[in-house]
Every structure is written in structure tokens, then in C-alpha cells.
Chain A
Amino acid sequence: MTTEDLSIDAVGARNTPATPEGPIQYVNELTTLNLGPTHPATHGIFQNILQMDGEKIVSGEQTIGYIHRAFEKIAERRPFYQITTLTDRMNYCSSPINNLGWMMTVEKLLGVQTPKRADYIRVIMMELARISDHLICNGILGVDTGAFTGFLYLFEERENIYEIYEEMCGARLTTNMGRIGGMERDLSAEAIRKIRKFLKDFPPVMKEFEKLFNRNRIFMDRVVDVGPITAERALSYGFTGPNLRAAGVDYDVRAMNPYSSYEDFEFEIPVGENGDTYDRFMVRNEEIWQSLRIVEQALDKLPDGPYYADAPEYYLPPKQEVYKNMEALIYHFKIVMGEIDAPVGEVYHAVEGGNGELGFYLISDGGRAPYRLHFRRPSFIYYQAFPEMCKGTTLSDAIVIMSSLNVIAGELDA
């Protein structure tokens, strides 16, 4: 019997065909392996059904939707300001980017121009969020290759970022940061002190982390040339963000369609070459440095002035005014009750999220809630490339590939 006689049957087992002389002989059976839904290496709830030939992955199929919460449907019954809390729960590793991206979408529809100070505060918060997002991804990539130390060290710094969030909005994970027209509160002296402290303390830790990983023999053996993807395939699969840049395409929404005054800052867009796991890791590391640069510039150049736009119909008046001023009281009531109709319109706004282009497609029919709201979630779109990327690799490589793609279950399922 030669290998040509083998056929693959419905369950994927390579068997000899049944003959009159005898029953099917099982020569080489494929193993079905369930990776997930609650496997620790998925870092979230989604399932990969892998067909394994020995240690090699032959094919894979994903099942997602385990934490689907119907945000798009819920959003059709909520005033605009109440949708912010839904966006928190998409990419929960960098919620401020989601929040502020949504605010900017609504502001675009309403035609509200935010003052420079609000823009700069937003930039600071979004870049800190990007740092914390990339820290988790790269830290966990270390854990998945067997190095726990980096993760532990970085988490202390992530904690410091969360303390800055607390100063800005009172929350840590689901931040609900910003308001339509600006920020909910100004940068306090304490917040500035914490950001300055972070800018001073974080770089040495990051340098140590890079020293631990970047040229580490064991780490490089695990990630170099693992899960490469060409720029062409990456574009076809709708990759954006660090994963696309690792493949060598220098697309960054911040540079191409600057929002929130990103054009005022100098930063570079790191790109990789092969689009393999190592490149993705290195691109994220470099982006952390660039984000630090942006935060520093924004803090140094922070303009004076109001931190919210003059948009009384959408931005809550100060509480003291509500008690003393009739007009403020009316606006307060109307905003809280969601009684202000939005203009009719259709807007697509994209921001550079932690994982790539996070888009908001909003259709307003003139009501108080969106007629239709669609989130373009980068994780959802690029995760479909996973079977192609891990085909022919071993299970341990597949886990590293998945980890470096940074699939966030909340964003995957919305």
C-alpha cells in the first residue's frame, strides 16, 4: 500500500479504502484537539478546533461568540452618551481608546469642535491606553513562551497607568472616559504628577524588559519565523494596527487621518519585515516608546483653556450652575433624560485602537439613539487568518501566534 491510496474521509482520518477483502484499515488518524473555549492560552473565551496529525496542525476552525453581548442592538435603544459604557467592554485592555473614539464619532456627527486642551488630554489618555494594551500583549507573549518574569514586572507599570485612569475618571478597567464635547474633568495636579512619575519610572523598566527578551536566545527560538504572514495576505485578511505593520505596511490611522490633534505631535511608525511573531513583538515594543514620546510632548505642550467644547446641548453644565441657573438646569435635565435629537446623518470614524483600525459606523435618523451603529472591530476581522497562519506548525507555535495577534475576546464578540 502506498500513500497515494490513502484518502481522507469525512472525519478527516486518512484511511485505506474499504475493499471486498477486508474492512477499513486505520493508517494514520487525525486527532481533533479542542483549544478553548476556556483554555488558559486563549486569554479569553473562544474556541479553536484543531485537526492534528501527530504534533502538526493540519487545519483549524474557530468558534466565537461566547461573550457576544449584542452591543449593536442595545445601542439602538440608548442615547449617545450611554453608549460609551458599551464601548468600554470591547477592547477592555485599552478602554479609553474605545470611549474617546466613540465620543469623536458623535462629535463629528454633531459638528462639535473640541478645544485643543481636550484634544491633548485625550491624546495623553489614548497613548497611555495603547501602552497598557501593548504591555499586556507582550507580557503575555512572554508567559506563553515560558517567561513569567517580564509579565510580572510590566504589570506593576500597568497598575500605574490604571492609577492615572482613576485620576481622570474614577474607574480602572471600564473607564467611561470623556464626554461628548470634551473630557469629564480637567487633568488634576495629582494626575499630572502621576503621569510625570510614570514617564520617569517606566523607561528603565521597559529597557529591562527589552533586555530580557529582545535578544534572548530561548525567546527568539520560539518566535522568529513563527506564524509569518505576507503583507499581501495581511491586507487581504483585513489586518490593521501592529499586526499589519509587522508585515511591513506602514498604515496607521493616527498618521493617515489624524484625529484629536495627532498632527501636532512627532512620532514614528515602526514597521517589521516578515510579519512573524517576533516582528509583531518588536513593533509593539517600539510603539510603546513612540507612545511615551507622544505623551511627553502632549504634556509639555498642554495648552491652557477649557477642556470641553461650548456645546450646552450635549455637555453637562457644571453642577453649581444647575442649582443657580435656569438655563443650565434645563440643559442638565434634557441631557440626562436623553431628550435631545441628533441631526440626520451618516458617519464613519476610525481611530487607531490597540489592535488596529477601530471604526464606528453610525447612522442617525434624527432620533435620540442611533438608527444603526456598527463597530469595526480589528480583532474580529484579523482573527480569521489564524488557521492559515498556524497551518503546518506545532501546537506550541499556534499558541504563540494567537498570543502575538492579541485577540481580545470582548472585541472579537462585541
Chain B
Amino acid sequence: MLTNQAVAEDLIKQFGAAVYDFDEPFGLLTLSASREQIVPILLYLKDHKTYQINFLTDITGVHYPDEPGREFCVVYHAHSMVENFRVRIKVFLAEADLHIPSMTVLYASANWMERETFDFFGIQFDGHPNLTRILNMEEMDYFPMRKQYPLEDGTREDKIDALFGR
């Protein structure tokens, strides 16, 4: 039985300062990693004899416009079907430099997930074989899931942030 504690300690031992911000919301091991180390970390988890975290559940992006220097976050969910262990790894990126290595070298499923993340957030996955829009039309010239694009008509006053508790 893998514990969050053991995996976290092992990752710190292996990758040192490249992994930080460990947490376990609702029991799911969550950590942040540096952009340079994200592929080696997932490769390490994948090839590890006991962890066997060899299933990439999900890749998605989040936009935090109010946090300068780390406006964008790419979130990876990986899963070990053998040990029934999940891990969530976040990589924060600055808006000025939205580049991150592509995970397609490890997982075929990353292809469309990264295209979707690019499509909605504009994050550039370096080394991706075909980084084009997937759900939106190709002529679109903005990235719609960024927070600066409000869903509703900007003149409406019944849908302001205050009404949503923010």
C-alpha cells in the first residue's frame, strides 16, 4: 500500500528543489514541479518498479490572472492502477513564457489533452507533433478559457463577480 508520505519523501529525495508545495486535499497527493523536471518526474513514476504510476488520467490548465509570475498552471493527474494510487502534479508558468515540454513522448493520450489545453489557454507544449486547435475553430484568435474573457455580455449587471461570491 503506497502512502502519500512515502511517495512525497521519495520524490523530494530524487528531485530535490524541483518538487515543492506538497499537499493532500481529499487524500490526493498534490505537488508542484518545475517545468524542466515535469517529464523526468512522470517518467520516474511510470518506470518505478513499485509505484507503476503509468496511466495519465488527465491534463488540463488553470488561469490565475492575479498571481504575477505564475499566471498559468498545467495540471497533470496520473494514476497507478496496480497500487490504486493517484497523484496530481502542477506546473506553474509565467504568462510571458508559456512553454512546457510535451508529454506525448511518454503517453499517446497526451496528444489531444495538450491540444485542448493549448486551444483554451494558449499554453505551448514544446515537442508536440501537431499543436493546433481542437475544439474551437482554427480562425479563432484568442484563448477563451482565460479569465479576461467573460462569458456573458460585458454590459450585464446581473452577472458580476460579486454575485458569485468573489
Which residue numbers of A lie inside 8 Å of B, CB to CB?
64-65, 68, 70, 72-74, 76-77, 79, 108, 233, 235-238, 249, 251, 256-257, 338-339, 341, 345-348, 350, 357, 359, 361, 363, 365-369, 371-372, 374, 376, 380-385, 413-414
Q: How far is the CB of A2 from chain B (nearest CB, A)?
A: 31
Q: Which of B55, B62, B135 contacts A68 (CB 8 A)?
A: B135
> Is there contact, CB below 8 Å, between B84 and A235?
no
Q: B39 in the interface, Cβ–Cβ < 8 Å?
A: no
> Is there contact, CB below 8 Å, between B107 and A367?
no
Measured in the bound complex, the distance between the Cα atoms of B166 and A369 in whole Å is: 9
> Is there contact, CB below 8 Å, between A380 and B112?
yes
> Which chain A positions have C-beta within 8 A of B133?
65
Q: Which of B75, B77, B134, B164 contacts A77 (CB 8 A)?
A: B164
Q: How far is the CB of A62 from chain B (nearest CB, A)?
A: 9
B55's nearest neighbour on chain A, judged by CB, is A235
Which residue numbers of B lie inside 8 Å of A, CB to CB?
25-26, 28, 30, 54-58, 60, 62-63, 75, 77, 81, 84, 86, 88, 107-109, 111-113, 116, 120, 133-137, 144-145, 151-152, 159, 161, 163-166
Q: How far is the CB of B50 from chain A (nearest CB, A)?
A: 18
> Is there contact, CB below 8 Å, between A361 and B60?
yes
Q: How far is the CB of A110 from chain B (nearest CB, A)?
A: 11
Q: Which of A70, A346, A376 contacts B57 (CB 8 A)?
A: A376
> Which chain B positions have C-beta within 8 A of A413?
135
Interface centre among B30, B60, B107 (most CB of A within 10 A): B60
> Which chain B positions have C-beta within 8 A of A249?
81
Q: Which of A73, A237, A347, A381 contacts B151 (CB 8 A)?
A: A73
B120's nearest neighbour on chain A, judged by CB, is A72
**How many contacting A-B pairs (Cβ < 8 A)?**
105
> Is there contact, CB below 8 Å, between A372 and B113?
no
Given known pairs A77-B151, A341-B165, the reply for A237 and B81 (CB within 8 Å) is: no
> Is there contact, CB below 8 Å, between A367 and B28?
no
Given known pairs A70-B144, A367-B166, A381-B112, the reply for A348 and B84 (CB within 8 Å) is: no
Given known pairs A64-B134, A74-B151, A384-B112, the reply for A359 and B58 (CB within 8 Å) is: yes
Measured in the bound complex, the distance between the Cα atoms of B152 and A111 in whole Å is: 31
Given known pairs A345-B25, A346-B30, the reply for A384 and B144 (CB within 8 Å) is: no
Measured in the bound complex, the distance between the Cα atoms of B166 and A346 in whole Å is: 17
> Is there contact, CB below 8 Å, between B57 and A384?
no
Q: Which of B81, B88, B135, B145 contacts A348 (CB 8 A)?
A: B88
Measured in the bound complex, the distance between the Cα atoms of B117 and A372 in whole Å is: 13
Measured in the bound complex, the distance between the Cα atoms of B120 and A237 in whole Å is: 21
Measured in the bound complex, the distance between the Cα atoms of B88 and A371 in whole Å is: 18
Measured in the bound complex, the distance between the Cα atoms of B112 and A175 in whole Å is: 29
Measured in the bound complex, the distance between the Cα atoms of B139 and A318 in whole Å is: 50
> Is there contact, CB below 8 Å, between A368 and B58?
no
Given known pairs A108-B26, A237-B108, A367-B165, the reply for A376 and B58 (CB within 8 Å) is: yes
Given known pairs A236-B107, A237-B108, A381-B109, the reply for A361 and B58 (CB within 8 Å) is: yes
Measured in the bound complex, the distance between the Cα atoms of B108 and A70 in whole Å is: 25
Q: How far is the CB of A229 from chain B (nearest CB, A)?
A: 11
Q: How far is the CB of A315 from chain B (nearest CB, A)?
A: 19
A79's nearest neighbour on chain B, judged by CB, is B164
> Which chain A positions have C-beta within 8 A of B88?
348
Known: A65-B137, A235-B55, A361-B75. 18 other contacts (CB 8 A): A70-B144, A74-B151, A235-B81, A238-B109, A338-B163, A339-B165, A346-B30, A348-B58, A348-B77, A357-B57, A363-B62, A366-B165, A367-B164, A380-B112, A381-B112, A383-B112, A384-B112, A414-B135
Measured in the bound complex, the distance between the Cα atoms of B106 and A235 in whole Å is: 11
Interface centre among B86, B107, B164 (most CB of A within 10 A): B164
Q: How far is the CB of B59 from chain A (nearest CB, A)?
A: 9
Q: How far is the CB of A392 from chain B (nearest CB, A)?
A: 18
Measured in the bound complex, the distance between the Cα atoms of B165 and A238 in whole Å is: 36
B81's nearest neighbour on chain A, judged by CB, is A251
> Which chain A positions have C-beta within 8 A of B81?
235, 249, 251, 256
Measured in the bound complex, the distance between the Cα atoms of B135 and A413 in whole Å is: 7
Measured in the bound complex, the distance between the Cα atoms of B108 and A338 in whole Å is: 41
> Is there contact, CB below 8 Å, between B28 and A381?
no
> Which chain A positions have C-beta within 8 A of B111?
384
Q: How far is the CB of A246 from chain B (nearest CB, A)?
A: 16
> Is there contact, CB below 8 Å, between A381 and B55?
no
Q: How far is the CB of A291 from chain B (nearest CB, A)?
A: 22
> Is there contact, CB below 8 Å, between B108 and A236?
yes
Given known pairs A361-B60, A413-B135, the reply for A384 and B165 (CB within 8 Å) is: no
> Is there contact, CB below 8 Å, between A348 and B86?
yes
> Which chain A positions have C-beta within 8 A of B164?
77, 79, 338, 367-369
> Is there contact, CB below 8 Å, between B152 and A77?
yes
> Is there contact, CB below 8 Å, between A73 and B144?
yes
> Which chain A positions have C-beta within 8 A of B136?
65, 68
Q: How far is the CB of B54 from chain A (nearest CB, A)?
A: 7
Interface centre among B107, B108, B144 (most CB of A within 10 A): B108
Q: How far is the CB of A108 from chain B (nearest CB, A)?
A: 6
